[in-house]
Structure 1
Amino acid sequence: MTKINITTLGCPKNIVDSGHLARRFASERFLYVDNPNNADIILINTCGFIRDAKEESIEEILKLSKFKTQSSKRLIVFGCLAKRYKDELVKEIPEIDAIFGVGEDSSIIEYCKGLARGERQNTKDKKQSAFSHDPLTISHPLSYRPSSIASSYAYLKIAEGCDKKCTFCVIPSIRGRFRSIQPEKILKEAREHIKNGIRELIIVAQDITKYGKEFENYNLVSLLKDIASIKGDFRIRLLYLYPTEITDELLELIAKEEKIQKYLDIPLQHSEDKILRAMGRRGTRREYIKLIRNIRRTIPGVALRTTFILGFPGETEEDFYGLADFIEEIRFDRLGVFKYSREEGTVASKLKGQVPEKLKNRRLDEIMRRQSLISLEKNKELIGKRYEAIIDEIDDNFAIARLYSHAPEIDGVVIIEKIKDRSQKSEIRIGDLVTVEIVDAFDYDLKAILTPE
């Protein structure tokens, strides 16, 4: 049986893509192994969104290429970076045996089946089409997770591509136009995850608020209602909502539906009108403030996460401190910051007023310093309070968990001590929902103890 290993870099959407591909491999009787050194075929799903991600992908390709100590091993590169820089990768890294873009799962499977049969193949000179599928019947097999890996959560991708025209972004050129995945396929995948013990479904797409634009009378609210109606004790988390397309109907559903976490990830990218216009973003500072006030009024206790880009071309000191004041005023629960990355092929790469790297670094440090103080203050307010938490990891006498206000991999965690001294008789496991009391707070993490439920 041919053994494969898949390494995934980049965003949760890539994690979903790798899961789909791995499940297809399993259906073709390939064996998944955790260690790339034990694999016959090593695959890497790359990210090419910004410079740091590109560098990480290249470093990982070079690292994995060292496992090719046997002539029979094959290294396959696919995904976003592979689509953007196919020719360059082939030229600079000859250890790559085959390279595919985004959405070419069938081609990857057929290539690997050929390898398993002992056929000699080379895709380096072939031109592959990444968007040959019908946008309204886009089909993904159910996500696959090696049985040796336990997890409390799973990402559920509901759409592919993007129609927005942000001047800094390469995603539309890589992943194509926006197209919603058929609801019955999403619901089937959701049921499978819940059946397998997943406790949190994390809804992702480049822009989830656009979901259902091709359908008649079926949108994101419709989909969330259908997912929430599935039987089982699980939670739903929403990532990546475009700010100007958040509706009152959506907010009201989040407020009343117990299964939906009171947590919204809304990438604003900036607060100042001049920069937003240059970015090709919709909305204004005033509209964003109005939106956030409406969200907090409609969903009491909601946790808000956002991301900002610093050092965008033309960003002056006045623009930067306007953003800093905006952050101080809003006091986001979670905040991510990226330095602007000048990506070839984007409108922004040709704009005047490119900001020096040293200045970007200073601005990033200033924003993160301010946000760490805000985060610490908010965390201290939680001391002495009790919350439901989901267990993600267990190690000896400690456990790592998350509250509703924590998305996995990007936010802080809850460190639970003395789990063996709890009053309950049964031992806790990954995926369990437990009640905790917060006893200490740090910049981004919390410390808690288990309490009787």
Structure 2
Amino acid sequence: MDFQPKRISTFTLGCKVNQYDTEAVVELFKAEGYEEVAFDEKADVYIVNTCTVTHLSDRKCRQMLRKTKKLNPNSVLIAMGCYAQAAGEQIKIDVPEVDLIVGTNKRNEIIQLVENYKMNQEEYNFVGNIMDVEEFEELHISNMGEHTRAYLKIQEGCNNYCTYCIIPYVRGKIRSRKIENVIQEAKRLIEAGFKEIILTGIHVASYGKDLGNTSLIEAISAIHDLEGLERIRLSSIEPVVVTQEFLEAIAKLPKLCHHFHLSLQSGSDTVLKRMNRKYTTEEYRQSVEELRRIWPDVAITTDIIVGFPGETKEEFEETAQFTREIGFAQVHLFPYSVREGTVAAKMKEQLDSQAKDERLKALKVITDASQHAFMEQFVETNMEVLFEKSEAGKAHGYTSNYIKVEVVTSDNLVNTLKTVHVECKVGEALEGKCID
């Protein structure tokens, strides 16, 4: 009989950090001889990497866990990630089909946990007190599903404790990856063919604060001159990061993408204060203006929460007006979601869903117009595009300032950088022709 390798399958909910964690764990299984298969295929081990940002996220996690075990009742089903960290024992009650519960730590021990479970099937919950974890958990990636962009996790945890956010309680205190390990992983990714690296983490802006002798700029600079790397992109940061020192440094880093996801959450100073955000709208505005002074084509993207407890019509209008004035390239809009265990969950004057929906729709009209205006300014210009997909006579990729660009071509342009003359905007993409 031919040897059949053991099979691993995963499903990831939530953020880019979760995607990184999943890929890193898959590599651990592959190193032990497992074959990765599609999620709807029969596997020996299934991992659902969970998210707990909203109540909807929790529900999706439970639904996916129940669905997964049906694919192979004899498999080992693992709940991993933030929701597992927050509600380990409750998951076992709600979804008894789950075999192992691993939160946001001990993922580098997951192979041994699976093997031990197969032998005795007794202990199942390996969620510990994440606040006791002091060191960055080293996980590694040398390959990812995307052909041109790779995530490199440099940081874990958050110390900010915004009043609406559960994440610090499920990811723990800030822990930064040692700079030499960041460089080593970047080299592996470049050797695997990746031309763009996205530095990611739970709170990337705090990178290095626990190490005492480094910073986010030093992490960027450390990989900037590696041969074969074309672009460095950052995940979400906050306006307080945009200091004079930061601005002077990025002006000397041509590989750093002209795209900053500057977290806003509200355009009202009184709401920001209730959220325990560490900046004002004026400080935010100044950060945007300084970035645009250095790079006029820079894309400023953000997140905004609508319907925070006590948000008045006047406060919402402040957010709407501030959004108009900034002119974001793209905005991710979210209705406020109560998370038990956070300060905001206990606040009075919780808004009803109808008020949140109405405000969400009103703000979306503004943000859609803003995105359209940002993209339109690049029609009849030349833009450098790193192509990601090439199929059915079309190829598409992204510019440094994160605009999707499509060209009609029969050539396979995947993982190539081309200059494109932009001719028009169609939907949420620009279209044009390669001129090199």
Q: Report TM bin, short chain.
A: over 0.9
TM superposition shift of 1:82: 0.8
Deviates more, 1:435-444 or 1:378-387: 435-444
Partner of 1:434: 418
Partner of 2:79: 77
Partner of 2:390: 394
Partner of 1:93: 95
Matches within 5 A, 1:318-333: 318-333=314-329
**Quick one: distance in 1 between partners of 2:420 and 2:7?**
42
Structure 1 residue 342 corresponds to structure 2 residue 338: yes
Q: Does structure 1 conserve the Cα–Cα contact (< 8 Å) formed by 2:387 and 2:395? A: yes
Partner of 1:140: 138
Partner of 2:246: 250
Match of 2:407 among 413, 416, 424: 416
Deviates more, 1:159-168 or 1:90-99: 90-99
TM superposition shift of 1:30: 2.3
**Quick one: distance in 2 between partners of 1:187 and 1:385?**
35
Q: Does structure 2 conserve the Cα–Cα contact (< 8 Å) formed by 1:305 and 1:334? A: yes
**Identical aligned residues as a percent:** 29
Partner of 1:164: 160
Match of 1:68 among 67, 72, 84: 72
Structure 1 residue 382 corresponds to structure 2 residue 378: yes
Structure 1 residue 219 corresponds to structure 2 residue 215: yes
Q: Does structure 2 conserve the Cα–Cα contact (< 8 Å) formed by 1:241 and 1:267? A: yes
Q: Does structure 1 conserve the Cα–Cα contact (< 8 Å) formed by 2:42 and 2:72? A: no
Three-state SS of the structure 1 residue aligned to 2:251 is: helix
TM superposition shift of 1:403: 1.1
**Quick one: distance in 1 between partners of 2:431 and 2:62?**
37
**Quick one: distance in 1 between partners of 2:330 and 2:59?**
26
Report the AA paired with residue 285 of structure 1: T
**Quick one: distance in 2 between partners of 1:133 and 1:5?**
28
Match of 1:444 among 411, 428, 434: 428
Report the AA paired with residue 85 of structure 2: K
Partner of 2:264: 268
Runs of at least 4 residues of structure 1 off by over 3 A?
122-134
Aligned CA distance change for structure 1 residues 129 and 165 (closer, same or farther; 3 Å): closer
Structure 1 residue 403 corresponds to structure 2 residue 399: yes
Partner of 1:28: 32
Partner of 2:306: 310
**Quick one: distance in 1 between partners of 2:404 and 2:183?**
29
Partner of 1:109: 111
Aligned CA distance change for structure 1 residues 293 and 282 (closer, same or farther; 3 Å): same
Aligned CA distance change for structure 1 residues 163 and 132 (closer, same or farther; 3 Å): closer
Q: Does structure 1 conserve the Cα–Cα contact (< 8 Å) formed by 2:76 and 2:114? A: no
Three-state SS of the structure 2 residue aligned to 1:261 is: coil
**Quick one: distance in 2 between partners of 1:218 and 1:125?**
36
TM superposition shift of 1:127: 5.4
TM superposition shift of 1:253: 2.3
Q: Does structure 1 conserve the Cα–Cα contact (< 8 Å) formed by 2:388 and 2:397? A: yes
TM superposition shift of 1:105: 1.2
**Quick one: distance in 2 between partners of 1:158 and 1:127?**
22
Match of 1:288 among 284, 287, 294: 284
Q: Does structure 2 conserve the Cα–Cα contact (< 8 Å) formed by 1:99 and 1:123? A: no
Three-state SS of the structure 1 residue aligned to 2:258 is: strand
**Quick one: distance in 1 between partners of 2:388 and 2:116?**
39
Partner of 2:172: 176
Q: Does structure 1 conserve the Cα–Cα contact (< 8 Å) formed by 2:307 and 2:351? A: yes
Report the AA paired with residue 254 of structure 1: I
Q: Does structure 2 conserve the Cα–Cα contact (< 8 Å) formed by 1:36 and 1:42? A: no
Gapped regions of structure 1 (runs ≥ 5): 407-411, 421-426
Q: Does structure 2 conserve the Cα–Cα contact (< 8 Å) formed by 1:438 and 1:448? A: yes
Q: Does structure 1 conserve the Cα–Cα contact (< 8 Å) formed by 2:388 and 2:395? A: yes
Match of 2:349 among 340, 350, 353: 353
User: What per-residue deviation string (whole Å, max 9, x for no partner) do you get for residues 220-262 of structure 1?
Assistant: 1111111102111420001111222322222222222111101
Structure 1 residue 240 corresponds to structure 2 residue 236: yes
Partner of 2:53: 49
Structural RMSD (CA): 1.9
Deviates more, 1:163-172 or 1:36-45: 36-45
TM superposition shift of 1:129: 4.8
Report the AA paired with residue 112 of structure 2: E
- TM-score calculated relative to the size of structure 2: 0.94
Gapped regions of structure 2 (runs ≥ 5): none
Three-state SS of the structure 2 residue aligned to 1:99 is: strand
User: What per-residue deviation string (whole Å, max 9, x for no partner) do you get for residues 134-193 of structure 1?
Assistant: 42xx342421546xx452101111110000020000111001011111111111111111
Structure 1 residue 193 corresponds to structure 2 residue 189: yes
Deviates more, 1:54-63 or 1:168-177: 54-63
**Quick one: distance in 1 between partners of 2:244 and 2:55?**
37
Three-state SS of the structure 2 residue aligned to 1:214 is: coil
Report the AA paired with residue 414 of structure 1: V
Deviates more, 1:193-202 or 1:16-25: 16-25
Three-state SS of the structure 1 residue aligned to 2:71 is: coil
Question: What is the number of residues matched between the two proteins?
Answer: 432
Q: Does structure 1 conserve the Cα–Cα contact (< 8 Å) formed by 2:134 and 2:175? A: no
Q: Does structure 1 conserve the Cα–Cα contact (< 8 Å) formed by 2:263 and 2:303? A: yes
Report the AA paired with residue 121 of structure 1: Q
Structure 1 residue 208 corresponds to structure 2 residue 240: no
Q: Does structure 2 conserve the Cα–Cα contact (< 8 Å) formed by 1:162 and 1:175? A: yes
